[in-house]
Structure 1
Amino acid sequence: SIAMQRQSAVFMLDREFSYHSQAPAHRFDYHGLGLDLENLDIALAGPFQHENGAIVLAALETLRGQGWPITENAIRRGMAEVSWPGRFDLVWQRPLVILDCAHNELSVEALLHTFDLELGPAVRPRLVFGCLEDKQWARMAEMLAPRMQAVILTRAKPKRPLAPEKLLPLFARWVPSRIVHEPLDAISEVMAQAAPDDVVLVTGSVYLVGEVYPWFLQRAGRQRLFPEAEA
């Protein structure tokens, strides 16, 4: 392995360190290389983020071992304030709009699991979906379509976008679906159609989420993703 070639230490989840998720709460316990932390609040939704958090904490422990002055208070604050744009990212309230960069079977599975925990399995969102042609698009459509109330299919730019025409029959079997080729036009349309109590889900590609994010930032009066980075 690369780690062996570079004579790097390897620390594995469930071997050298572990975690216990308190989902549906955004909270987990960490049992590490030498550090045990209970009731860690994390600002990210979804139990899979608890696993990611544990991996980050193991990395921080190795830095502490090299003399980095990382305190428990700093760790707790960092977890409680962490932001990951595009990961079950609530960018609008009425209607509730969720942007998620899920782009393969595993990440769509995690997205749907998080959706069920946060909003409930009975909630049927309006979907804006676009993906790349080299992704597991048929499987993603199969997983998403039965859960939606309506679907707009678009092109995930800038490279290798899958033609929405290939997706249309897969979604249309389950739910009213139509094509709007330009992502920003798709967002404008779904926002015009959605009732205040609806949920809008935008997913399928990092590129798609990246293209539509500024639409919401502009209308929220922001220039950047992170408020502290505003000019």
Structure 2
Amino acid sequence: MRPFEEAVTWIKGLQKFGIKPGLERMQWMLERLDYPERRLKFIHIAGTNGKGSTVQFISRVLEEAGYSVGTFTSPAMGGLNTHVNCDHQPMSEDAFAALVEQRIRPLASEIERTKAGSLTEFEVLTLLAILYFAEVAYPDFVIWETGLGGRLDSTNVVTPLVSVITNIGYDHMNILGNSLEKIAAEKAGIIKNGFPVITAETNPISFEVIEKTAKQKKAALYSLGKDFSYSRKSGMLADQQEYFDFHGIFRDYPGLRLSMLGEHQVQNAALSIMALEVLRQYSAVWFETEHLLMGLQKAQWPGRFEIAQKKPFLILDGAHNIEGMRTLLQTARERFPGRKFNVLFSVLADKDTQAIIRELVPICEEVVATEMDHPRALPLSDILMQFHNESPSLKVKGTQPWQRAFEEWYQPNQADDVFLVTGSLYFISTIREALGKAQEICPDFKEKAGE
């Protein structure tokens, strides 16, 4: 087995330890690694949805301005090394293997014998990202996406130049809490003393929590609707663009356009622009208007209303919670008015599947349900039961394994149909990998859009 494969096998073996919120193990490890995170400039992003897109908007603009940018995102749309990117190039397999074997694994064995217990998979990936950026890649900035929540998330061991909170919704309630106040408090946990925070959250309940935390931390708060806003213009499916104007307290930017579709992406872009403007004001980050224009237009993020094929349309969207599914439906109805979709669906067991299905059903022509290869996948029988509970008359078929389900479901000769894969970013990642590496599954697929 190659060193990279050995490292991946060891990390995936940590999945048995599950999700363990808390920073004790991360702080123990970083102390023994001589605090490599202190040598990096972070932009920390939390939120229920839109984090990955916001990462891409900010990183593309900074790169257009000539900066080197590292990103840490999850889930990955490829191998484990693709969680960590510098200038849109994933961490090399050699660097991945070397950092695991030489820097992390010896300490992991040591901490496992303490009361702190074993590291989790996500903690190891977070440590890998820090070490890679601090000791191998040396980017000017690191855009740092939380994995789950914020306050006790493994990423919350850094002091960023700015904190960004996209929005607050109902997700991971078994860990973050069952109310918007509790979830917002966890997300607001990334706010640091004296460092600015930007948010697109407008729900009064959630916003009050963010505002209160910012005041307690003496952190300047910039919010959508008060300090910045956007005016969206209509776009057609044919050109696959979004058009909008940005209005902010520092400056306005008219005539902007995006390649990512949906009003939610316009909002994510506006949030990103405000974050960049705050970086300009507080941290002397330089960029010209042309860099902003080009960076926003170049930004892509796989699996978010991604049109992977046009004849027939094959759309990949990783909506995995109520808010994400509502956003998907809004975009679908705008771009395909009056149409219904052939849906391929799989989901993780810790999601509010019934609520997700309730949102999805109105645009379904028929559904193929399947069970993805993931330790937390919801069993196929449960998916079928919940679809039946929600809409007994809807045609729903269960097929296993997922490879056969996709092959039988997606029919390139049905040019007038619209095919949609949804329910989980992990599932979308698996489908994208299959499209790129197993052409026999989808012979008419030409390229992986957005990569």
- TM norm structure 1: 0.89
Is 1:94 aligned to 2:298, yes or no?
no
Alignment of 1:153-164 (within 5 A): 153-164=369-380
Q: Name the counterpart of 1:187.
A: 406
CA–CA distance in structure 1, aligned partners of residues 191 and 318 of structure 2: 32
Q: 1:97: Cα distance to partner?
A: 0.3
Is 1:7 the counterpart of 2:194? The answer is yes
Q: 1:184 to 1:225 in 2, by over 3 A?
A: farther
**What does the per-residue CA deviation read over 1:145-181, in whole Å, with 9 as the maximum and x for residues that have no partner?**
2321111111133231111211213334131111113
Name whichever structure is richer in helix by fraction: 2
2:230 is aligned to: 19
1:54 matched to which residue of 2?
270
What is the root-mean-square deviation of aligned Cα atoms in Å? 2.1
Question: For residue 114 of structure 1, what is the aligned residue in structure 2?
Answer: 331
CA distance, structure 2, for counterparts of residue 77 and residue 223 of structure 1 = 21
**Higher mean C-alpha deviation, range 179-188 or range 38-47:** 179-188
Supply the distance in 1 between the matched residues of 2:315 and 2:190 (Cα, whole angstroms): 37
Post-superposition CA distance 1:67-109 (Å, at most 9, x none): 2221101101111121110000000122210000100110000
Distance 1:12 1:214, change over 3 A: same
1:174 is the counterpart of 2:393: yes
Give, as a single letter, the amino acid of the residue that structure 1 aligns with 2:372.
Answer: A
Tell me the CA shift for residue 141 of structure 1: 1.2
Partners of 1:89 and 1:96 lie apart in 2 by 10
How far apart, in 2, do the equivalents of 1:201 and 1:62 lie?
A: 38
SS at match of 2:290: helix
Change (3 A) 1:225 1:17: closer
Give the distance between the partners of 1:199 and 1:39, measured in 2 at CA: 31
Secondary structure of the corresponding residue to residue 112 of structure 1: helix
Residue 144 of structure 2 corresponds to none
Matched, 1:28 2:239: no
Identical amino acids, percent of aligned pairs: 26
**Structure 1 residues 149 and 193 mapped into 2: Cα distance closer, same or farther (>3 Å)?**
farther
Report if aligned partners of 1:104, 1:135 keep a CA contact under 8 Å in 2: yes
Residue 4 of structure 1, CA deviation: 6.0
The aligned amino acid for 2:397 is R
Give the drift of 1:224.
9.2
Are positions 1:105 and 2:322 aligned together?
yes
Q: Which has the larger radius of gyration?
A: 2
Helix, strand or coil for the counterpart of 1:192?
A: coil
Between 1 and 2, higher relative CO (CA 8 Å, sep ≥ 6) is seen in: 1
TM-score (norm 2): 0.47
| C-alpha contact (below 8 Å) 1:100/1:202 kept by paired residues | yes
Corresponding residue for 1:229? none
Residue segments in structure 1 that go unaligned for 5+ positions in a row = 227-231
* Residues 167-221 of structure 1, C-alpha deviations (whole Å, 9 max, x = no match): 2133341311111132222211112386111111000001100001022224345
Aligned-partner residue type, residue 169 of structure 1: M
| In structure 2, C-alpha distance between the alignment counterparts of 1:133 and 1:179, rounded to whole Å | 17
> Deviation of residue 6 (structure 1)?
2.0
* Residue-pair matches, total: 225
Equivalent AA in structure 2 for residue 28 of structure 1: F
